[in-house]
Amino acid sequence: TSDHLRHVESMAQLPSGAGKISHLNAVILGESLASEENDLVFPSPEFSAQALVSSPNRCAGYQQMYRRSVEDPAGFWSEIASQFCWKEKWHPEVYAENIDVGKGTVRIEWFKGATTNICYNALDRNVEAGNGGKVAIYWEGNEPGQDGQLTYAELLDKVCQLSNYLKHVGVGKGDAVVIYLPMLMELPIAMLACARIGAVHRYSPQMSVVFAGFSAESLAQRILDCKPKVVITCNAVQRGPKTIHLKEIVDSALTECANDGISIGLCLTYENQSAMEREATKWQEGRDVWWQDVVPKFSTKCLVEWVDAEDPLFLLYTSGSTGKPKGVLHTTGGYMVYTATTFKYAFDYKPSDIYWCTADCGWITGHSYVTYGPLLNGATIVVFEGAPSYPDSGRCWDIVDKYKVSIFYTAPTLVRSLMRDGDEYVTRYSRKSLRVLGSVGEPINPSAWRWFFNVVGDSRCPISDTWWQTETGGFMIAPLPGAWPQKPGSATFPFFGVLPVIVDEKGNEIEGECSGYLCIKKSWPGAFRTLYGDHERFETTYFKPFPGYYFTGDGCSRDKDGYHWLTGRVDDVINVSGHRIGTAEVESALVSHPQCAEAAVVGVEHEVKGQGIYAFVTLVEGVPYSEELQKSLILTVRNQIGAFAAPDKIHWAPGLPKTRSGKIMRRILRKIASRQLDELGDTSTLADPSVVDQLISLSDC
């Protein structure tokens, strides 16, 4: 605690030269600064003056709040939590935790004993406060001109109807609902409807939203894991020029589940007319039901079911370095308070803002910062069904101008790809409404940061580079726009209540300017509570590597001013376009191909995606390597995981570099993949060092 507080306090003494530059442009345009890391980008005085946490004295406002949040977390968070609606207050304490494996089972609880409902807080509370007529969702379809909107009151009605329907079909305590929908308004509606009926006594559905880019096999795996009573989907979706038949993917997943002895009784299907006609949709009588035929018949009033703050809200599967995806479990009360608070401060949210997050609800960003965080604040959100490059690369800015978007939150991969397409797609639009930009999913490289800042934001909008994870529920390290100067590429400082530490290999905290493994000391309200059905794996993965801490899996360095620089995963997880993919998952998909004997997958730098997937593949004895086979291997991965996990490169490997004990030396494979051949290091411990030369000679196959 003390080390971090020292850093926070030393922020007030930022380099004196930098302190004299009081306007953003002066820094951005200044060529004289020695290194990128020393570039400080100051919020304009106008922005700072209106910011929620402003900086008349540099970071004084933040420092005060931060200090309170870590010295008195119970007081800090209970004060914030009191702004929400609770049927009963927590007792006896605000939080209870043990994150030290040496002291027994890891346990994290916030606001236990309190009862609440996140849907009530997001919708009813806002309607009751007189904001029923405010637009909750602007929906923009794939084709320009296709749009819709719902006010808070209308959204509440729609959610209630679906809640009543789900109750009617017997979604009860312990039942799960799987949602496999594209970015239609029905996706947040379905999430909120599940949350509304999650009662502690009678209903406790676990909701799992599955990204609509996952394949039938991935979907089947998730369905088998949580055995839902209902699957909610739509018949098809239009993404750019392509029509994707979602219902057919669900059909194959359900057939796969049936083969495994799990039959799902109900598939509620939304008719997405713009993508596909009802008549053209394959149908299984008795199991499939059209949303539009049943849901509107139900009442628009549905009493909420009050749940314990620690009752499950949702499960979200994410990749780990080994084995099958992990079901990250988030509970209700702490998650609600944390997503709402982080949203408000990291985006400097004001009620007049129009907020657009380009993430899909199938990922944690879509849960926390498309749906819950903004709606809990009564914000107006934009939900976009289409692709950002359709009909051309200016689409995002067209949408920004159309809805007067003021906060725009996206991923570095999109920033890089739009940057590559050229400034004219951006400058063609006004973008005057923008005031805050956000980035998430992977480190944003300084050049993309600058382009985002200078071109998209006209050097006017601070960038909130938010570092967090599926597991953390909400932002952990992120700038508070207006509160302090930024450094392009740094996520800056921790959010209230978060205690990041950097440890060395032995788990010793390192102080001052350093690099190491990023861990978090103490819990925070939005933390996940377990891995569904596998608390032991939860402890082993996250709490055993460095006892006493939550281990993030990320590397991080801290500079002399205390700014945090995330350096990427230190485990076998690849981050492709902000999507987390376990190397083990791709390898297991590859070896399921009948002609593949062995596979080793590593990440390589990729200009747009951040990291690309590079697969070394050993074929079954006697099978010749061919282009067709390469295609079929890639197709296998697409079919089993999803298109986003398809390898960028298949490298034929008659042999893999292994130690004498049979362990694949990925370090060497990474160097071969990135063509850093003079940095292969010691290869003498390999069982057969000649495989390395063989691999190098096959590099361009």
Please say which residue, 337 or 411, places its beta carbon nearer to ligand PRX.
411
Residue 554 annotated as catalytic: no
364 binds ligand PRX (CB under 6 A): yes
Told to check if 380 binds ligand PRX by CB under 6 A, we report no
Q: Shortest gap between Cβ of 193 and ligand PRX (angstroms)?
A: 24
| Residue of 138, 403, 468, 542 interacting with ligand PRX (CB under 6 A) | 468
How many alpha carbons fall within 13 Å on the CB side of residue 354? 20
Q: Which residue has the tokens 């991923």?
A: 411
- DSSP-assigned letters across all residues of 425-470: HHHTS--TT--EEEEESSPPPHHHHHHIIIIISTTTS-EEEEB--G
| Residue from 73, 141, 386, 441 in contact with ligand PRX (CB under 6 A) | 441
Scan for tokens 């933390």, then name that residue. 527
Are 219 and 264 within 8 A, CB to CB? no
Contact call for residue 470 and ligand PRX (CB under 6 A):
yes
Q: Rounded to 5 degrees, what angle do the CA atoms 410, 411, 413 make?
A: 135
> Is residue 585 at the binding interface for ligand PRX, with CB under 6 A as the rule?
no
CB 364 → ligand PRX: shortest distance, Å?
Answer: 5
Q: Which residues contact 329 (CB under 8 A, 6 or more apart)?
A: 312, 314, 315, 528, 529, 530, 531, 532
Nearer Cβ to ligand PRX (470/630): 470
Among the listed residues 454, 469, 639, 674, the single contact to ligand PRX using CB under 6 A: 469
Residue 468 near residue 580 (C-beta atoms within 8 A):
no
Give least dist CB 362 to ligand PRX, A. Answer: 11
- Which residues from 158-197 bind ligand PRX, rule CB under 6 A? none
**Nearest approach, Cβ of residue 443 and ligand PRX (Å):** 4
Number of chain positions touching ligand PRX (CB under 6 A): 24
DSSP type of residue 236: -
User: By C-beta, is 272 or 371 nearer to ligand PRX?
Assistant: 371
Residues in the chain: 701
Q: Which is nearer to ligand PRX, 205 or 438 (CB)?
A: 438
Q: Is 498 in the site for ligand PRX (CB under 6 A)?
A: no
Q: Which helix (H) or strand (E) holds 327?
A: strand 326-331
Which of 206, 269, 466, 640 binds ligand PRX (CB under 6 A)? It is 466
Give 132 or 553: the residue with its C-beta nearer to ligand PRX. 553
- Bridge pairing between strands 514-521 and 550-558: antiparallel
Q: Determine which helix (DSSP H) or strand (DSSP E) holds 398, and give its type and residue range.
A: helix 395-403
Q: Which of 548, 466, 569, 442 has its CA nearest to residue 503?
A: 548
* Residue from 112, 167, 326, 580 binding ligand PRX (CB under 6 A): 580
Q: Which one among 467, 484, 496, 542 touches ligand PRX, defined by CB under 6 A?
A: 467
Q: Can residue 318 be called a binding residue for ligand PRX (CB under 6 A)?
A: yes
Query: Taking a C-beta distance cutoff of 8 angstroms, is the pair 611, 576 a contact?
Result: yes
> Judged by CB, which is closer to ligand PRX: 229, or 326?
326
Q: Which of 260, 571, 648, 700 is catalytic?
A: 571
| Residue owning tokens 């009360």 | 333
Q: How far is the CB of 428 from ligand PRX (least distance, A)?
A: 28
Distance, CA of 284 to CA of 298 (rounded, Å): 23
Binding mask 535-574 for ligand PRX (x = CB under 6 A): -----------------xxx-----------x-xx-----
For ligand PRX, the closer of residues 416 and 569 by Cβ is: 569
Are residues 101 and 539 in contact, defined by beta-carbon separation less than 8 angstroms? yes
CB–CB of 637/567 below 8 Å?
A: no
**Residue 465 binds ligand PRX (CB under 6 A):** yes
Catalytic residues: 571
Footprint of ligand PRX on this chain (CB under 6 A)? 318, 364-365, 439-443, 465-470, 491, 552-554, 566, 568-569, 575, 578, 580
